[in-house]
Amino acid sequence: MIKIGTDLPGPSAGRYLEAAKRYEPRSMSDQVPLVWKRAWRCYVEDVDGNVFLDFSSGVLVANVGHSHPKLVEEIRDQADKVINSYDFVNQYRPLLAQKLVEITPGNLDKAFILTTGSETTEAAIKLARRYTGRYEVVAFQGAFHGRTYGALSLGGKRSGAATKGFGPFLPGVVLAPFAFCYRCVFDKEYPGCGTYCIDYLDWLVETETEGDIAALITETYQGGAGSIIPPKEWMQKLEAWCREREILFIVDEVQASFGRTGKMFGFEHYDVRPNLLCLGKGITSTVPLSALVGESRIMDVLTPGTMSSTHGGNAFCSRIALKNIEIIQEEGLVENAARVGGFMMQRLKEMEERYEVLGQVRGLGLVIGLEIVKSKRTKEPHVDLAKEIVLQCYRKGLLMIAPIGFYGNVLRIAPPLVITEEEAGTGLDVLEEVLRECSG
Ligand SMILES: Cc1ncc(COP(=O)(O)O)c(C=O)c1O
């Protein structure tokens, strides 16, 4: 349970916060000043003994909960055996690849194990280019696919602080409008619009590409842009659009997979089949590991030695990933995410009715976005209020990530998938109290 026994940040936190300020680039963090000491299930204890309820899962990593005892046991045991094994075969990497192939659609029959999410999107683009012999890529406005240069080039907000001034980016990337129906760039309404943004893709291709498109990459739901959930029809039409043009359909589920959305993989909500699938974060719930799962006709296009990685697929991380997937399945965490997510959504929808500043509540399973606006009518983003809400929640013992979103006004709720309805309800009580106080 939540326990706040000191002023925040507490007396012991100061030393670490000072050191972070003095020795780390300020670009590092925009989070509330919580210095983590220990974490378990959906709780985080700071260095002053305060206990917070975690609505962040780190950053959607700790799907099985922080420091799950079975994972800790596995980590201890493997640490004693071997950790790094470069790209020599070890006892776990091939089994992890096998497992990923087994739990994904039948067309995905090989898996390349890496370390970070960004590496998977980079690898997907390299493979798509080599496989098709084409170079252009369609990505989406608002998208986030990582921070390394290739991945950044697929990102959908060039004027944003994380991108501006870094260009020129990878040539050949064109950005299409995502199905952000709450703020439709065409000022249309779904479903009356007839998914006009899909029809628009042909115009975009005709005007902004040479018609040499290798792939289209999309997140299942846009995470960084503010937990934007596209309609099922849109995703299905998007897949069909790619198939008809023989364009590879890449789905980036670094964030949306391993139960987060109430299905093992987010794309299962849409009944689509990616040609390449990017995975990360919740794949281990702990240590850094990511994977690109794909069709062997694409995956095997590169010759031996041309795509490998120093840390990717090491014995240690691979073993943890395997165990993590086992825990998700054994403990029914996908089902729990759907159940508790449904409960939270219902309460949040009631709150949406009550609070003028709550422009829209949207979500799938245990990833929920709250649009904080100045008024429901104008939908003007209220960035300062969003920040204030996160800060006040922290003061009352509820941990959330700094606001996200295209405009920085979206609160993200993404607790570990082990959270119970009762715990989720406690967190929402705190959030509602803060909303009441902050929105006057
Ligand atoms: C959809 C998506 N793709 C890629 C990434 C990049 O992952 P990483 O930070 O592990 O490189 C993220 C990280 O937030 C993400 O949400």
Task: Decide which of 286, 305, 330 is a domain's last residue.
Answer: 330
**Statement to judge: residues 291 and 344 lie in one domain:** no
In a domain, 301, yes or no: yes
* DSSP label at residue 319: H
Residue 55's pLDDT is: 98
**Statement to judge: residues 338 and 303 lie in one domain:** no
Mean pLDDT by 10 residues, the chain (440 residues): 96 96 88 98 98 98 98 98 95 98 98 98 97 98 96 90 88 97 97 97 96 98 97 98 98 98 98 98 98 98 89 97 98 98 98 97 98 97 98 98 96 98 98 92
Q: Which of 61, 125, 144 has most ligand 1 atoms within 8 Å of its beta carbon, as the pocket-test mutant? A: 144
308 CA to middle of ligand 1, Å?
19
In a domain, 1, yes or no: no
In a domain, 80, yes or no: yes
**Statement to judge: residues 89 and 180 lie in one domain:** yes
Whole-model pTM? 0.97
d(CA 238, CA 241): 5
In a domain, 345, yes or no: yes
Q: Is 412 in the pocket of ligand 1 (CB under 6 A)?
A: no
Q: Is 121 in the pocket of ligand 1 (CB under 6 A)?
A: yes
**Statement to judge: residues 52 and 192 lie in one domain:** no
Task: Decide which of 330, 362, 384 is a domain's last residue.
Answer: 330
**Statement to judge: residues 205 and 314 lie in one domain:** yes
**Statement to judge: residues 336 and 326 lie in one domain:** no
Token pair, residue 33, equals 């000043």
* DSSP label at residue 303: P
397 CA to middle of ligand 1, Å?
27
156 CA to middle of ligand 1, Å?
13
The whole-angstrom distance between residue 18's C-alpha and the CA centroid of its chain comes to 30
**H/E element holding 363?**
strand 358-364
The whole-angstrom distance between residue 437's C-alpha and the CA centroid of its chain comes to 30
Strand blocks (E) in 83-237 = 110-114, 136-140, 173-176, 213-219
d(CA 187, CA 59): 32
Q: Which residue segment(s) compose the domain that 319 sits in?
A: 72-330
d(CA 197, CA 193): 8
Residue 440's pLDDT is: 67
**Statement to judge: residues 309 and 409 lie in one domain:** no
Q: Is 222 in the pocket of ligand 1 (CB under 6 A)?
A: no
Residue 237's pLDDT is: 98
Residue 30's pLDDT is: 87
In a domain, 250, yes or no: yes
Q: Is 282 in the pocket of ligand 1 (CB under 6 A)?
A: no
Q: For residue 281, what is the domain's CATH number? A: 3.40.640.10
Residue 164's pLDDT is: 87
In a domain, 218, yes or no: yes
**Statement to judge: residues 203 and 245 lie in one domain:** yes
Q: Is 219 in the pocket of ligand 1 (CB under 6 A)?
A: yes
d(CA 324, CA 287): 11
230 CA to middle of ligand 1, Å?
19
d(CA 194, CA 184): 13
**Statement to judge: residues 205 and 256 lie in one domain:** yes
**Statement to judge: residues 109 and 245 lie in one domain:** yes
d(CA 400, CA 227): 14
For the purposes of burial, counting CB atoms within 10 Å of the CB of 382, is it exposed (0-12), middle (13-18) or buried (19 or more)? Answer: buried
Q: For residue 52, what is the domain's CATH number? A: 3.90.1150.10
Counting Cα atoms < 13 Å in the Cβ hemisphere of 323 gives 21
Task: Decide which of 307, 330, 353 is a domain's last residue.
Answer: 330
Domain count, the chain: 2
